[in-house]
Amino acid sequence: MMSYTCTVSGPAVIDVHNKADFIEDRCSYTLLSDSWVSGVQILASFRERRRTDVSFVDSVTLRLEDPGVDVLLKQDDRVLVDNVALVLNSSVQEVHGVQLSKDQTGVTAKVTLSGRSAAVFFDGDTAQIHMEGPAGSSLVGLCGNSSSFSSAKLSEESSSSCESVYTEPADGTIDCPLMTKRCNLLKEAPFSSCNTTVDPAPYITACNATLCKYPAVDGLGCQFLWAYARACSLSNVALESWWSDHGGSSPPHLYSANDSQVTYKNTIMAQNSSSEGITRQDQFYIDFSCIHVQPEMKTVAFRIKDSSVVQHITSGEWSYNVTMKSYTDADRTHVVDSNTDVMLNQKIWVELETEGLDADLIAVVTDSCWATDQESPNSTPRYDLIQNRCANAADQTVMVEGNGEGTSNYFSFTMFQFIGSSGDVYLHCKLNLCIKEENSCVKLLYYYSNFP
């Protein structure tokens, strides 16, 4: 029997041959085909976050040929079986032959058939597939060859939108030499104890390429260290307490929970700041724990009341309709309706479209869009998404497309809520009609409220 590990972290895929490559678009790919476990494919979808030029693994799917079911591992430890949400805990729950469980580190899904197994772990940032089976077994997909993009891309989900590769100006706040130094920690103790078992080189490559391009936010500074540590654990090499020495975030396994309480355990200890390895200060080592009542709500979902708002406008000789619609995909094919759950930090696309205007003469310009927690567009607090026809520079999730190019345009942002408010979010936009031939704008003011 042989064992293999494939790691997908951020945009990087580290295959079973310890070769790293990078996903540059927003498509879905086959990580492991059904040549390993008959009738089971493992897929991954990639999406952008704060920057359009870096894609991150966003979800993992186990596609079961019989009975034709998808087991989807999503963000925030959510698991859907054919779009039906499951409630998981540390006890193994078997669904269509897939063993599912969840702990404080993430979700694990395992399938076993004919002496071969594939265990998929996903924590929202990193997916790791641990395979066991006979030597010489065929491994097809990105996990078998991380550069096999063309053959691994899912044709039914491929589109010009998903295949687009974007560029953005370099982030001048990133100190690449400092990030490289951090990534090279994988060659130092305690990680070095695992270096002969798990080659750190592809993890360092993946870490460098990502952190020199993308800001170390949302836990990204520790993400590749944790990915390597878990790969070591899968190879039976335990790395103890590395996070306390290297500024890593608290390890997820320091949390334990039951049906009513969550317990957090940690240790406070003296920091030795002497380069000579001595100290003249008292040493201390204090274990502590905090017990909290288990929260009843683990995620927050929104329901959009009005997914499509239509207003009829009459101004002099002009008579036309303006429609605002919201979607959950970049191609704007999946309209958000009153039954759609919209999660915090989920990306939403909003299209502003007119009907009854001559596209050869008129262009529609979105001058500004903003959100409030009250129905009135003049209420406070106010959060700007579009200012002076451009995306709010302070919010890297906002993108504006096709503004002023025709009689429709659209923008996107990730969902949010106002702190301390009732949870309602109202979206308002100001549009200008521009007469192309005269290169002037007839300013018409319209307000919409479609996200309560």
Per-residue model confidence as pLDDT tens digits over 7-48: 999 999 999 999 999 999 999 999 999 989 999 999 999 998
CA 400 → CA 321, 333, 390, distances in Å?
21, 18, 7
Q: What is the pLDDT of residue 335?
A: 85
Global pTM value: 0.59
pLDDT of residue 303: 52
The tens digit of pLDDT for each residue in 45-76 reads 999 888 889 999 999 999 999 889 999 999 88
Average confidence score pLDDT of the chain: 81
Flag the least confident range among 129-143, 291-305, 350-364, 416-430: 291-305
Question: How many other C-beta atoms are found inside a 10 Å radius of the C-beta of residue 309?
Answer: 16
Question: For residue range 265-295, what is the model confidence (pLDDT) as tens digits?
Answer: 555 555 444 444 455 455 554 555 666 554 4
Q: Is 169 exposed, middle or buried (0-12, 13-18, 19+ CB in 10 A)?
A: exposed
- Percent of the chain at pLDDT > 70 equals 77
Quick one: which of 195, 154, 209 has its CA closest to 11?
209
- 328 versus 448: the higher-pLDDT residue is 328
The pLDDT of residue 4: 94
How much is the average pLDDT of 215-227?
Answer: 85
**Model pLDDT for residues 186-196, shown as the tens digit of each residue:** 999 889 999 99
Place of tokens 């919201």: 326
Kindly state the average pLDDT of the residues 415-438. Answer: 77
Least confident of 6-10, 173-177, 357-361, 412-416: 357-361
pLDDT in tens, 300-318: 445 555 556 666 666 556 6
* pLDDT tens digits along 378-396: 888 899 999 988 999 888 8
The answer on pLDDT for 248 being more than 60 is: no
pLDDT above 90 coverage of the chain, percent = 43
Residue 155 CA to residue 179 CA, distance in Å, equals 36
- β-pair type (382-387, 399-401): unpaired
pLDDT above 60 (res 129)? yes
At 318 the pLDDT is 64
Inter-residue long-range contacts of 100-104, CB under 8 Å, 24+ positions, other chains counted: 100/71, 102/77, 103/252, 103/253, 104/252, 104/253, 104/255, 104/256, 104/257
Please report where in the chains the tokens 């945009």 appear, as a residue: 11
Is the predicted pLDDT of residue 438 greater than 80, yes or no? no
What separation in angstroms does the CA of 221 have from each of 186, 212, 214, 218? 13, 11, 10, 8
Query: Residue 114's pLDDT is what?
Result: 86
Asked which of 77-81, 109-113, 162-166, 215-219 is least confident by mean pLDDT, the reply is 215-219
pLDDT per residue over 331-380, tens digit each? Answer: 888 888 777 777 888 888 999 888 887 777 778 888 899 988 888 888 88
| Poorest-pLDDT segment among 115-119, 135-139, 207-211 | 135-139
pLDDT value for 159: 64
Question: What is the rounded CA–CA span in Å between residue 127 and residue 75?
Answer: 11
Q: What is the mean pLDDT of residues 133-153?
A: 90
Residue 445's pLDDT is what?
45
User: So what's the pLDDT on residue 244?
Assistant: 53
pLDDT in the model for residue 214: 92
Residue with the two structure tokens 């039976």: 236
Burial of 281 (0-12, 13-18, 19+ CB in 10 A): exposed
What pLDDT score does 298 carry?
40
State residue 407's pLDDT score.
86
Quick one: pLDDT band at residue 296, thresholds 50, 70, 90? very low
